[in-house]
Structures are given as structure tokens and as C-alpha cells.
């Protein structure tokens, strides 16, 4: 499995080749300048790393995590991937596609986390694609412990003779986070070869694996800039603790005996709006700006909120004029179609 991984993403300083991995991700993902947006904001130089272009089934950040999660599943001879997410989960879509690539069955529990959704919310966007990939979908009401529900489903599948492999929501455990340790290696290599040093890396943070893996990797590689997560759901302190905890567990997985200072985990919770999956006005504005200045597709649940955070900080003169700011585009545009009624025309 490992032999097919392309080495062009830079040196494997942190030894990721030790871990089982499958090859499903287009990498390195490009880094592009956002020239018109930078002119418009007039406050710093803005760039974007296109993890919306990871290549699997519409792309997105879960593909990097799934390289290690599916690698682990295959190495344990599993035959079924079991996971969970909100109804319009990008993670469930990418997991369903990865399962197809490795001839695994897939089973996903979708939580009806949001009230008053459009009538097509449970049939279009990511759900349509989940069905195309033949994943077995089950819906659940809001507020359950969804990881516990998915583990109960694993037990039921085991009783029928299947070999399920449990993937937590968002693929966020220390195995999935290795995908963003890999991204950190790739990014440090890109910064060196492009002679570009980013002062800030801004991204949307939800189930925490992306920020945790990125910070763990960048910290070990001596990156001097800051990573800022824009929360899509939880209040700041809760999110910081959750990211920090997974960051530490990821370092342990890497065999590194080091403490990440909590101060390295930066989170802004000012762009959550009405809650998970409910776009705020700032989210919708960010989606429109990214589309009309840069021809980019953001999404109403994650990257729209992350981008809104970056715009808000730029407008508040948070960045120095000489700062180079990188937005990590984590994908999600499939969900746009499930929000037809709120996306500005």
C-alpha cells in the first residue's frame, strides 16, 4: 500500500511511512495567491491552500484523514466502514467513496442536528452522493451520542458476521489526524520551495482533527507562525481543549514525548452564528465574496465560516500589512445544493 504513495509532498521528517496508508488523495494540493481578494481587503497578502481539491469524490479535508483510517481498516482485514455525521456530512461522503475504492461496504448514521431545514436537505448535496456510493444510511434524531450509536451499529454488524471498522465523526482521532500531520510536512516543504513564509494559517474547525494534526505536525517541524481555527460549533474554550487533547494524542501516536503549550491552540468562536450548520449573514457574505473575487466555492457549514473569520480579522486590522495569511480550504461545496434557499443569487 505504501509503495504507491508519491514522495513529492516533501521529506517524511516525522516518519509517517510507519503507518498503514492508502493512496486516495491528490497531493500536494496547490497554494494559490488570492490577488483580487488581497487588493479588495488592502490589509495583508492572502493565499489559499486547495484542500478542497484532494481529488476524491469532490474533495475536502476528510480525504487526507481517510488515507490513514482506511489504511488501518484494510490492515485489520475489515470489510465494512462505519461512521457518523450530520445529515450533510462531507466526511460521510468521502468515507463512502473511499470504501468503494477499497471494496469495502459502508454504513453511516446521519444525525438530524438542524431544525427547519429545506425539504431537499435530506436528499440533495452530500446525501445524494452518499446514495450514489451505495452507503447504507440510517437517520437519527438530534442530541444522541452519535459515536456510541455508531459503535452499537458495529456490534450489530459483527453479530451478522461482518468485520466493521469504526471511524469516529469527522475521522477525528489520532489516526485520522495523521492526515494533517502529513499536510504539515507538505506545507513546510511548499513554504521552503516557494520561498513563502506564512505568518497565519486560518481554517474552519469542527471535530478538531484537522487543526490538531496540523498543529502537531507544524510544532514538531519548528513552524514559527500561528494556526487559527474558526469554530463552526463549539465555544472557544471547549474547542481549544478538544483540539489540544487530540493534538497531544497525535504526538503520542507519532512516538513524540513533547507537550504542546495550550497557547499554541488558537480558536475564534465569533463566527458560529446560530449554531452548527446554520449559516450566519457573515457566512453567506464570505461565500459570495470568495465566489465573486476569486471564483472559489466555499460551503455554508464550514469553509464559509472559516473564511468569514479571516475577512472579519482583516477588516479589524488584525493582520499586519506585511503579513502573509494562508486560508486552508477544507472543501464542502457539495453542501451548497442543500442550502439553495439561503445562498444569495
Ligand X SMILES: *Cc1c(COP(=O)(O)O)cnc(C)c1O
Say how many C-beta atoms besides its own lie within 10 A of residue 47's C-beta.
Answer: 21
Question: Per the residue annotation, which of 38, 43, 89, 282 is the catalytic one?
Answer: 89
Give CA–CA dist 332/345, Å, rounded. 19
> Of 60, 57, 143, which Cα lies nearest the Cα of 106?
57
Spacing of C-alpha 105 from chain mean position: 23
The binding site for ligand X (CB under 6 A) comprises 60-61, 90-91, 170, 172, 204-211, 299, 302-303, 330-332
Say how many C-beta atoms besides its own lie within 10 A of residue 164's C-beta.
Answer: 24
The β-bridge partners of 9 are: none
Residue 89 is a catalytic residue: yes
C-alpha distances in Å from residue 104, one per residue of 109, 133, 134, 153, 332: 17, 11, 11, 16, 24
State the pairing for strand pair 31-33/45-50.
antiparallel
Cell of 337: 445544493
Say how many C-beta atoms besides its own lie within 10 A of residue 263's C-beta.
Answer: 9
Q: Are 181 and 254 in contact (CB under 8 A)?
A: yes
Helix ranges (H only) for the chain are 35-41, 62-75, 90-101, 126-132, 146-159, 178-194, 209-220, 236-253, 281-294, 303-315
Q: Are 114 and 198 in contact (CB under 8 A)?
A: no
> Of 242, 227, 249, which Cα lies nearest the Cα of 175?
249
Say how many C-beta atoms besides its own lie within 10 A of residue 257's C-beta.
Answer: 7
Residues whose CB falls within 8 Å of the CB of residue 159, separated by 6 or more in sequence, listed in order: none
CB of 169 to ligand X, least distance (A): 8
Cell of 149: 450509536
CB of 209 to ligand X, least distance (A): 4
CB of 212 to ligand X, least distance (A): 8
- Active-site amino acid positions: 89
Amino acid at each position: 500500500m505504501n509503495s504507491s504513495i508519491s514522495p513529492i509532498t516533501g521529506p517524511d521528517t516525522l516518519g509517517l511511512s510507519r503507518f498503514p496508508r492508502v493512496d486516495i488523495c491528490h497531493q500536494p494540493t496547490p497554494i494559490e495567491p488570492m490577488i483580487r481578494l488581497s487588493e479588495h481587503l488592502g490589509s495583508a497578502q492572502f493565499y489559499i491552500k486547495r484542500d478542497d481539491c484532494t481529488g476524491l469524490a469532490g474533495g475536502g479535508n476528510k480525504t487526507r484523514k481517510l488515507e490513514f483510517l482506511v489504511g488501518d481498516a484494510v490492515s485489520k482485514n475489515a470489510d465494512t466502514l462505519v461512521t457518523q455525521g450530520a445529515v450533510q456530512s462531507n466526511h460521510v461522503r468521502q468515507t463512502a467513496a473511499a470504501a468503494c475504492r477499497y471494496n469495502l461496504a459502508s454504513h453511516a448514521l446521519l444525525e438530524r442536528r438542524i431544525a427547519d431545514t429545506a425539504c431537499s436537505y435530506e436528499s440533495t448535496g452530500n446525501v445524494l452522493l452518499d446514495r450514489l456510493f451505495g452507503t447504507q444510511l440510517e437517520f437519527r434524531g438530534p442530541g444522541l451520542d452519535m459515536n456510541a450509536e455508531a459503535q452499537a451499529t458495529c456490534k450489530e454488524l459483527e453479530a451478522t458476521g461482518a468485520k466493521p471498522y469504526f471511524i469516529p465523526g469527522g475521522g477525528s482521532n489520532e489516526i485520522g489526524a495523521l492526515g494533517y500531520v502529513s499536510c504539515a510536512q507538505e506545507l513546510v516543504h511548499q513554504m521552503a520551495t516557494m520561498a513563502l513564509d506564512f505568518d497565519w494559517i486560518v481554517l474552519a474547525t469542527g471535530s478538531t482533527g484537522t487543526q490538531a494534526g496540523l498543529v502537531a505536525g507544524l510544532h514538531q517541524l519548528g513552524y514559527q507562525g500561528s494556526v487559527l481555527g474558526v469554530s463552526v460549533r463549539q465555544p472557544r474554550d471547549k474547542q481549544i481543549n478538544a483540539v489540544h487533547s487530540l493534538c497531544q494524542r497525535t504526538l503520542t501516536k507519532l512516538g513524540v514525548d513533547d507537550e504542546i503549550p495550550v497557547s499554541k491552540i488558537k480558536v475564534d468562536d465569533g463566527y458560529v452564528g446560530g449554531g452548527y450548520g446554520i449559516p450566519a449573514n457573515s457566512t453567506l457574505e464570505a461565500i459570495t465574496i470568495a465566489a465573486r473575487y476569486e471564483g472559489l466555492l466555499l460551503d455554508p457549514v464550514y469553509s464559509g465560516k472559516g473564511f468569514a473569520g479571516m475577512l472579519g480579522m482583516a477588516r479589524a486590522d488584525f493582520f499586519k500589512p506585511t503579513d502573509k495569511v494562508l486560508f486552508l480550504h477544507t472543501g464542502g461545496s457539495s453542501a451548497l445544493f442543500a442550502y439553495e434557499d439561503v445562498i444569495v443569487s
